[in-house]
């Protein structure tokens, strides 16, 4: 009668940092041995890990046919040739504003996600979280779950312990090497680079990059873990500005959990009020950050939701409804707390449950998906979409040809024997397609002008056919001369146009023709 409920085991665990025992910033690290959780969110996290790691490892190996003059790697950052390839998109360095746009989108996207579902990025998609999860899975596979790991940690150094530790760290380092190894394939042709790397013929920078990322992966994911989030990452600090009372956070619903009781039956027998929380510490023991979610929202919480899984499991076994720990908004939580406390200072379970049925009363607000849609998130979403659409439009409308013209500064103009005036220009014609192309360069809007390009004998007095190499810039030294009878009175604007010979693509640049001042 007085024994604990057989369905819930109490875990002996102390949160690393809690309301009661606030740690100094200089406190040495307390080792955390998170217990493996099972449930919906754990399943979801495995899925996210599979997708994100899959994207990371597989992307460089995807092929994309761009014809004989361009690399066939779908995603490639070609630093040596200053080109960025992303499937059907090719970006030149001067178009880097697309990347800036992507960064703005990423920023706004992070705002959007954080204001709606809180630190979902931290809890599911952040590389630190994903790799720590992976490293913990390895640790669990080799050393066993929480209790076995604590025991092993305290055990004296035996051959068995040594073997387990060596194999764990070896696998961690292997994962690190694979992480750093995958990174370099984004910067060169993956199939040929991997042969070079294995046969030790790759450039030094490839090995340095692998070594660097291997060490950061191993140190951050294996050794530092939660300290990266708590001490190094700026996001926990920014969350204060990003979250509001309508953002979803992992919440301990104290209004139905309190007063928590380790010996519920005894308390009931003594006619004391008893909440749903049996103080089993299952939520603390699974937390990879080693905190107690029942202390409320805190800097360390990455909202991985594993405590929800752990608590739901306990509630199921106790035959109570799930959701003692759940995703909820602060506004709903406070409303429910006020309802549960009434005018008093402690939660009174009788105020939130129907006396006869034991069901929660209707005035309790349970957070649902509707909290996601509100003005703030809509504004973020519109901004995010507008930038995305704007960039797509700009991308679709950009010309595969480009011309830039620089007028000589010294001399501005040259008078010829017959009184004609000549101006010199440096012209660059960009062929931003991976195919060779023949274009016509022409002078337009300048009567009486003739065009002469060094190294390229002309085809007409004002135009010139140029064979452009694929994906290259052609530099030209050009002279435009105007006959004396057609000389303009003053500085004149005119156009240097470039059009493909079939007329499908055209681009132009405006420049000036300078003449001597009237005497």
Partner 1 sequence: MSEREIDDVTGVETTGHEWDGIKELNNPLPRWWLWTFYASVVFAIGYTIAFPAWPLISSATPGLLGYSSRADHAAEVAAAKAAQGKTLARIAQMPVGDILADQDLSRFASAGGNSLFKVYCSQCHGTGATGAVGYPNLNDDEWIWGGTIDDIYTTIAHGARSPSDTDTRYNLMPPFADGLLDTAQIGSVARYVASLSGIEGGEASPEGEQLFMDNCSSCHGESGQGMIEVGGPSLNDGIWLYEGSLAAIEAQIAQPQHGVMPAWLPRLGDEAVKQLAIYVHGLGGGQ
Phi, psi of 402 (to 5 degrees): -150, 145
Task: Give whichever of 367 and 431 is closer to partner 1, judged by the CB atom.
Answer: 431
- Measure the CA–CA gap between 438 and 453, rounded to whole angstroms: 16
> What string marks each residue from 12 to 41 as x (binds partner 1 by CB under 8 A) or -?
--------------x---------------
Stretch that binds partner 1, among 3-11, 102-110, 407-415, 495-503 (CB under 8 A): 407-415
Whether 498 contacts 507, CB under 8 Å: yes
Q: Identify the three-state secondary structure at position 187.
A: coil
- Sole binder of partner 1 in the list 410, 457, 489, 502 (CB under 8 A): 410
- Sole binder of partner 1 in the list 424, 429, 498, 513 (CB under 8 A): 424
Shortest spacing between CB 60 and partner 1, in angstroms: 34
Radius of gyration of the chain (CA): 34
Task: Give whichever of 3 and 410 is closer to partner 1, judged by the CB atom.
Answer: 410
| Element containing residue 41 per DSSP (H, E) | helix 40-58
Task: Please give the structure tokens belonging to residue 435.
Answer: 């195919």
What angle, 0 to 180 degrees and rounded to 10, lies between the N-to-C axes of helices 146-154 and 127-143?
70
Stretch that binds partner 1, among 253-261, 278-286, 388-396, 405-413 (CB under 8 A): 405-413
Shortest spacing between CB 54 and partner 1, in angstroms: 36
Task: Give whichever of 85 and 425 is closer to partner 1, judged by the CB atom.
Answer: 425
Q: Count of residues for the chain?
A: 519
Report the candidate in 12, 31, 51, 49 with the shortest Cα–Cα distance to residue 304: 49
- Sole binder of partner 1 in the list 54, 160, 419, 461 (CB under 8 A): 419
> Contact between 417 and partner 1 (CB under 8 A)?
yes
Stretch that binds partner 1, among 92-100, 308-316, 324-332, 402-410 (CB under 8 A): 402-410
CA geometry: angle at 223 spanning 221 and 224, to 5°? 75
Count of residues in contact with partner 1, rule CB under 8 A: 18
Task: Please give the structure tokens belonging to residue 52.
Answer: 């994100």
Whether 441 contacts 429, CB under 8 Å: yes
> Contact between 415 and partner 1 (CB under 8 A)?
yes
- Sole binder of partner 1 in the list 7, 18, 209, 422 (CB under 8 A): 422
Distances (CA, A) of 366 to 27, 141, 342: 39, 38, 18
> What string marks each residue from 473 to 492 as x (binds partner 1 by CB under 8 A) or -?
----x-x-------------
Task: Please give the structure tokens belonging to residue 4.
Answer: 């604990």
Cα four-point dihedral sign 71, 74, 79, 83: positive
Shortest spacing between CB 232 and partner 1, in angstroms: 12
Report the candidate in 141, 148, 291 with the shortest Cα–Cα distance to residue 229: 291
Task: Give whichever of 422 and 512 is closer to partner 1, judged by the CB atom.
Answer: 422
- Measure the CA–CA gap between 253 and 276, rounded to whole angstroms: 10
Stretch that binds partner 1, among 85-93, 105-113, 216-224, 404-412 (CB under 8 A): 404-412
- Measure the CA–CA gap between 152 and 159, rounded to whole angstroms: 12
Task: Give whichever of 302 and 480 is closer to partner 1, judged by the CB atom.
Answer: 480
**Residues 432-471 interacting with partner 1 (rule: CB under 8 A):** 452, 454-455
Bridge partners (DSSP) of residue 63 are 73
> Contact between 203 and partner 1 (CB under 8 A)?
no
Task: Give whichever of 357 and 410 is closer to partner 1, judged by the CB atom.
Answer: 410
* Interface contacts to partner 1, rule CB under 8 A: 26, 408-411, 414-419, 422, 424, 452, 454-455, 477, 479
């Amino acid at each position: 009668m007085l024994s604990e409920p057989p369905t819930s085991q109490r875990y002996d665990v102390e949160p690393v940092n809690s309301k009661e025992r606030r740690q100094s910033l200089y406190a040495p690290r307390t080792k955390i041995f998170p217990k493996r959780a099972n449930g919906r969110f754990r399943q979801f996290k495995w899925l996210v890990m599979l997708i994100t790691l899959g994207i990371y490892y597989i992307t460089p190996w995807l092929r994309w046919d761009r014809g004989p003059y361009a690399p066939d790697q779908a995603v490639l950052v070609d630093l040596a040739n200053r080109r960025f390839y992303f499937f059907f998109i090719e970006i030149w360095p001067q178009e880097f504003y697309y990347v800036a746009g992507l960064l703005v989108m990423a920023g706004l996207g992070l705002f959007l996600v954080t204001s709606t579902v809180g630190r979902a990025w931290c809890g599911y998609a952040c590389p630190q979280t994903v790799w720590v999860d992976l490293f913990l899975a390895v640790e669990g596979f080799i050393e066993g779950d929480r209790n076995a790991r604590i025991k092993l940690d305290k055990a004296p150094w035996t051959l068995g312990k040594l073997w387990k530790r060596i194999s764990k760290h070896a696998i961690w380092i292997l994962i690190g090497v694979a992480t750093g190894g995958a990174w370099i394939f984004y910067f060169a042709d993956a199939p040929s680079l991997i042969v070079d790397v294995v046969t030790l013929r790759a450039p030094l920078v490839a090995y340095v990059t692998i070594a660097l990322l291997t060490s950061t992966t191993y140190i951050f994911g294996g050794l530092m873990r939660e300290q990266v989030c708590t001490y190094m990452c700026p996001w926990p600090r920014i969350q204060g500005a990003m979250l509001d009372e309508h953002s979803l956070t992992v919440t301990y619903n104290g209004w139905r959990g309190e007063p928590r009781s380790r010996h519920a039956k005894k308390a009931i027998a003594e006619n004391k009020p008893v909440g749903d929380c049996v103080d089993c510490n299952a939520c603390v023991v699974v937390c990879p950050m080693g905190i107690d979610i029942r202390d409320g929202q805190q800097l360390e919480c990455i909202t991985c939701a594993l405590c929800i899984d752990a608590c739901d499991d306990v509630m199921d076994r106790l035959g109570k409804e799930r959701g003692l720990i759940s995703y909820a908004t602060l506004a709903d939580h406070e409303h429910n707390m006020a309802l549960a406390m009434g005018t008093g200072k402690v939660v009174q379970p009788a105020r939130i449950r129907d006396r006869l049925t034991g069901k929660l009363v209707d005035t309790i607000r349970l957070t649902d998906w509707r909290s996601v849609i509100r003005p703030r998130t809509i504004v973020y979403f519109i901004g995010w979409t507008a930038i995305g659409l704007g960039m797509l439009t700009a991308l679709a409308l950009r010309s595969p040809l480009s011309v830039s013209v620089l007028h000589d500064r010294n001399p501005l103009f040259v008078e010829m024997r017959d009184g004609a005036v000549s101006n010199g220009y440096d012209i660059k014609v960009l062929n931003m397609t991976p195919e060779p192309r023949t274009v016509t360069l022409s002078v337009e809007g300048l009567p009486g002008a003739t065009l002469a390009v060094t190294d390229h004998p002309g085809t007409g007095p004002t135009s010139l056919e140029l064979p452009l190499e694929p994906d290259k810039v052609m530099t030209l030294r050009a002279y435009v001369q105007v006959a004396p009878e057609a000389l303009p009175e003053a500085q004149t604007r005119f156009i240097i146009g470039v059009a493909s010979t079939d007329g499908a693509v055209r681009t132009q640049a405006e420049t000036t023709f300078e003449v001597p001042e009237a005497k």
